[in-house]
Structure 1
Amino acid sequence: MEKTVSTRSMIFTLYGDYISHYGNAIWIGSLIRLLKEFGHNEQSVRAAMSRMSKQGWVQSEKKGNKSYYSLTDRGEARMDEASKRIYKLESPEWDGAWRMLIYTIPEEKRHLRDELRQELIWSGFGALSTSCWITPNPMEQQIKRLVEKYEVGSYVTFFRATHEGMSDHASLVEKCWDLDKINERYSEFIKEYSQDFIIDKHNIVKGDLSDGSCFVKRALLVHQYRKFLFIDPSLPQELLPEKWIGDSAAHLFGEYYRILEKPATRFFESVFEQG
C-alpha cells in the first residue's frame, strides 16, 4: 500500500470519484471508515476535514448527533473540472483560438500572485512570459471564477486571440510546456500499471480479489493518474507531438478503472450506507 498519500489528497479523490455521485455529503464516521483502508486514522481525517473546511472546499452540517460534510460550490466546481480532464479518453478538438491572461499584481499582494500562478498551472495554462499566460482551451468560465475568488479583477486582462507569428504553433507550445517530460511521465505510468492491470483483471474474473482491495486499488489508481492534472495542459490534438502517448495512458487508466469499478463501488456503498 502506498503510504505517502496524504489524508487530504485521498479525501479529494474520494469526493471526486464517489461522494459527489451520492448526494455530495458523507457522514464523518463513514469517511473515517473508508480512509482506514489506506492507513489513515480518525485524528488525521478530522484534522484534514477541518483544514479543508477553513480553506473553503467543504462545509459541515449537523443531523442529530452526526456531522455530515459536503463540497462547497467552489469544491464542486473544482471537482467538475478535474473529472472532465481525468476521464477524457482523447485529446480535445481545437477551435484555433488562444486564451491569454496578463496580470500586474503589485508586490504587496504577491501572495495572491503566487496562488493565482498555481491555479493557472493546474488549469493547464503555460507561461509565455513572467506575467503572461496562455492556453488553447476554452477557459473563460474558470478564469471568471479565479478572478472572483482572488478579487484581482483590477489587475487582470483576459484575451481570446489568434496567433499571427512570428513563430509557428509548435514553437509556441515548446516555449510554454515541456511535452517531452510529460510524455516520459506517461510512459512511466504505462510501465507501472500495464502488468498490474492484466493481473488484477485475471484475479477479478477468478473471484480472487476482494471488494475492499478493489476499492483501495481504484482509489490509488485515480490518485496517481490525477497527478497529471498538475503537469499536463490537456492540449488539443493539433498541438501535440507525433509520438504523444498521453492518449494511450488515458485508455489504460480507463480500462483499469472499469474492471475495478463494480467491486469497488460495492465496498463503498456498504460503508457509505452505514451513515
Structure 2
Amino acid sequence: MTAPQLRPQNLLLMLLGDFVLDREVCVFSGSVIDALDRLGVSEHAARSTLTRMAARDLLHRRRHGRRMYFGLTGRSTAVLRDGRTRIWRTGAVNDDWDGTWTLLCFSLPESWQRQRHDLRSQLAWAGFGPLQGGLWIAPGHAATAEIVAGLGLAAHVRVFRARADELTDVAAMIGDAYDLPGLAARYEAFLAEWDGDIPADPFAARLRLIAEWHDAIRYDPRLPVEHLPPDWPGIRAQKLFRELEAALEAPARAVAAGLLDLRPDTPAGPDAAVRESAP
C-alpha cells in the first residue's frame, strides 16, 4: 500500500485517543517520538508537534524525575471524545434514519463576512448542507444550540424540525445540498488503501488505519443510506474498517505495552509506570 500523507498531529491525536484518553495518565515524550517513528515521522517533527500542541492548549507538560511527560487538556479531551464518538459509535452508515430533518435558516448583515464563514464552516462540520440561500439542512436531530450560541448569532438564526413532503425528491435534494462525489471519493480512496495486505507492524498499522478512517468520515453528514446512490462505498469502507480494527487491536496493544511509558497524570503522583493494557 502507498499510504497517504497524514499530519503528525493527527497521528499523535490517534495515539492519545487510543492509549491516554480517559485513563488519567500522561505519556513520556520519548515514547511519543518512538511511536511516531514507527509511522514515518522524524524525531524533529515529533518534538515540534508536541511543542505546538502544548502551545495551543492541546497538551500540558508534567515532569517525573528527569523525564518530561505530556497529558491531555480539557480542550484535547473534548476533541478526542468527539472523534471517538464519530469513529466507533455513530459510524458512517445511517441505516436507522427516522425521516426527519433539521432546518436552519440565517440572515446576517452583508458586512459580517467572518461570521458567515464561521457559521457555514461549523454547520458543515455538524452535518448540514446548503439547500438554498441561507437555508441549510441536516438529517435527523442535529445539534445547533452550541454552534449558534458560541458564535453569538442567536438573534439571526431560526431552527426547525421537519419531514419532506411527498412532492419532494429527497435523493435529488441530497444531491443538491451535499457533495456526494467528493464523499464517495474519500471512501473509495480508503478502500483502495486498505483492501489488501496489511503492514507488518500492527501498532503503526492500527494508528494509521484509525487516522485515515477519521479523515474519511470527518465531513460525512451521515445521510440516510436509503436515499444514497446504489452500492454506496461508505458501507463497504465501514465494514472493512471495523474488521481490520478488530483484528489489529490485540497485537497493537501488545506492542504498546513495551513501547509506551505512561504515568499517573497528577502533580505529585507516584513515580511508578503504568503499563499499557486494554481499557
TM-score (norm 1): 0.78
Query: What's the CA shift string for 1:212-234, capped at 9, x where partnerless?
Result: x1111111112222222244221
Aligned residue in 2 for 1:13: 14
Aligned residue in 1 for 2:228: 240
SS across alignment from 1:170? helix
Q: Is the 8 A contact 2:15 2:207 kept in 1?
A: yes
Q: Any residues of structure 2 matched to 1:129-148 within 5 Å, and which?
A: 129-140=132-143, 143-148=144-149
Distance change >3 Å, CA 215–CA 115, structure 1 → 2: farther
Aligned residue in 1 for 2:60: 60
User: Aligned equivalents of 2:106 and 2:49: distance in 1?
Assistant: 32
User: Aligned equivalents of 1:146 and 1:54: distance in 2?
Assistant: 25
Query: What's the CA shift string for 1:179-212, capped at 9, x where partnerless?
Result: 2443344234323322225xx6xxxxxxxx4xxx
SS across alignment from 2:103? strand
Query: What's the CA shift string for 1:38-63, capped at 9, x where partnerless?
Result: 2334443343344444545x241534
Shift of 1:98: 0.7
User: Aligned equivalents of 2:21 and 2:9: distance in 1?
Assistant: 16
Aligned residue in 1 for 2:126: 123
Segments of 5+ residues of structure 1 without an aligned counterpart are 201-208
Find the partner of 1:260 among 248, 253, 258.
Answer: 248
SS across alignment from 1:182? helix
Task: Tell me the amino acid that sits aligned with residue 46 of structure 2.
Answer: V
User: Aligned equivalents of 1:24 and 1:145: distance in 2?
Assistant: 29
Q: Is the 8 A contact 1:91 1:247 kept in 2?
A: no
Task: Tell me the amino acid that sits aligned with residue 10 of structure 1.
Answer: L
User: Aligned equivalents of 1:152 and 1:270: distance in 2?
Assistant: 50
User: Aligned equivalents of 2:204 and 2:167: distance in 1?
Assistant: 50
Q: Any residues of structure 2 matched to 1:14-163 within 5 Å, and which?
A: 14-20=15-21, 22-23=23-24, 25-56=26-57, 58-64=58-64, 66-72=68-74, 74-87=75-88, 88=91, 90-106=93-109, 109-140=112-143, 143-163=144-164
Task: Tell me the amino acid that sits aligned with residue 233 of structure 2.
Answer: I
SS across alignment from 2:141? coil
Percent identity (aligned): 27
User: Aligned equivalents of 2:180 and 2:33: distance in 1?
Assistant: 39
Q: Is the 8 A contact 1:15 1:24 kept in 2?
A: no
Shift of 1:250: 0.6
Q: Is the 8 A contact 1:89 1:254 kept in 2?
A: no
Find the partner of 1:220 among 194, 199, 208.
Answer: 208
Distance change >3 Å, CA 111–CA 30, structure 1 → 2: farther
Distance change >3 Å, CA 125–CA 221, structure 1 → 2: same
TM-score (norm 2): 0.77
Shift of 1:136: 0.7
Q: Is the 8 A contact 2:39 2:208 kept in 1?
A: no
Q: Is the 8 A contact 1:122 1:229 kept in 2?
A: no
Aligned residue in 1 for 2:168: 167
Q: Which moved more, 1:39-48 or 1:256-265?
A: 39-48
Segments of 5+ residues of structure 2 without an aligned counterpart are 264-279
Distance change >3 Å, CA 44–CA 189, structure 1 → 2: closer
